[in-house]
Amino acid sequence: MARVLLVEDNVDLAYGLQNNLEIEGYEVRVAERGETGLEQAREWDPDLIILDLMLPDLDGYRVLQHLRKSGVMTPVLILTARGEESDKVLGFRLGADDYVTKPFGLMELLARVEAILRRVQGPSVSDAVEGQDAEEFGAVRIDVRSRTVLRDGIELSLTPKELDLLLALIRRRGAVVSRLELLQEVWGHRAAVVSRTVDTHISELRRKLEEEPSHPRHILTLHKAGYRFQP
């Protein structure tokens, strides 16, 4: 869900807006000062910043300027009482995406927020040329992006749990991973199950991936300790 950073020193207004934005389904954080706004913008990496121009410390324009200068291209909606055209033009020139003057209609503001977010995150999140995350060992090749596993070039179908388990092991290649850890990583933070669940899946993995399932070369058992993946 989209994240909205609200930089506004008027606590009442901020609170009301936060509520309404949250009702719309956004995740909202409030910064009451320019400095904290800048920090949050950089660290939290919101999808939209609603920026009041009148702030106790830094001027809103300054905040915007700093952001853009430091390469933060998050959309910014300016919210202020200053309605002079020259103010607006300056705001846009500094890289704002919209400019709303107080007093404003709540519905309109929400609609504008939605319009900006629709435009920004509409096409696609942030993919296209993502880092190739592929793994390879023996005759096996794993493409995480497509959740595909090839062996000798032919695709074999791992179930979701199997793939997750395999990836959990690969992620910690060379190290022993206990059943409990695997349970937590793959199955979610749950109490220790006392059954053959993990082993069963390991067995299945070996059957599918290993040349000789009974003498595994990649998915090894460490007696009394757990399993270890060997590339």
Partner DNA sequence: CCCACCCTGACAAATTCCTGACAGATCCTC
Partner DNA sequence: GAGGATCTGTCAGGAATTTGTCAGGGTGGG
Q: Give contact residues for DNA (rule: CB under 7 A).
A: 62, 65-66, 157, 159-162, 179, 187, 193, 195-197, 199-203, 206-207, 213-214, 221-226
State the Cα–Cα distance between residues 92 and 74, nearest whole angstrom: 14
| Partner from a second copy, DNA, none contacting 95, C-beta within 5 to 8 A by type | a second copy
Choosing from 15, 22, 59, 93, the residue that interacts with a second copy (CB under 8 A) is 93
The CA–CA distances, whole Å, from 165 to 161, 169, 175 equal 6, 6, 14
Asked whether position 192 contacts a second copy by CB under 8 A, the answer is: yes
State the Cα–Cα distance between residues 59 and 68, nearest whole angstrom: 15
Pair of tokens at residue 190: 């749950």
- Applying the rule CB under 8 A, the residues between 19 and 48 that interact with a second copy are 24-25
**32 φ, ψ (degrees, to nearest 5):** -100, -5
Asked whether position 213 contacts a second copy by CB under 8 A, the answer is: no
Closer residue to DNA (CB): 66 or 141: 66
In the complex, the smallest distance separating the C-beta of residue 57 from a second copy, rounded to whole angstroms, is 26
Decide: 72 and 95 in contact? Cβ < 8 Å. no
Residue that is written with structure tokens 């220790």 in the block: 192
Residue that is written with structure tokens 């509409």 in the block: 122
Decide: 112 and 89 in contact? Cβ < 8 Å. no
- Report the interface residues with a second copy, using CB under 8 A: 1-2, 24-25, 73, 75, 85-86, 88-89, 91-93, 95-99, 105, 107-108, 111-112, 114-128, 130, 145-147, 159-160, 168, 171-172, 174-176, 181, 184-185, 188-190, 192, 222-225, 228
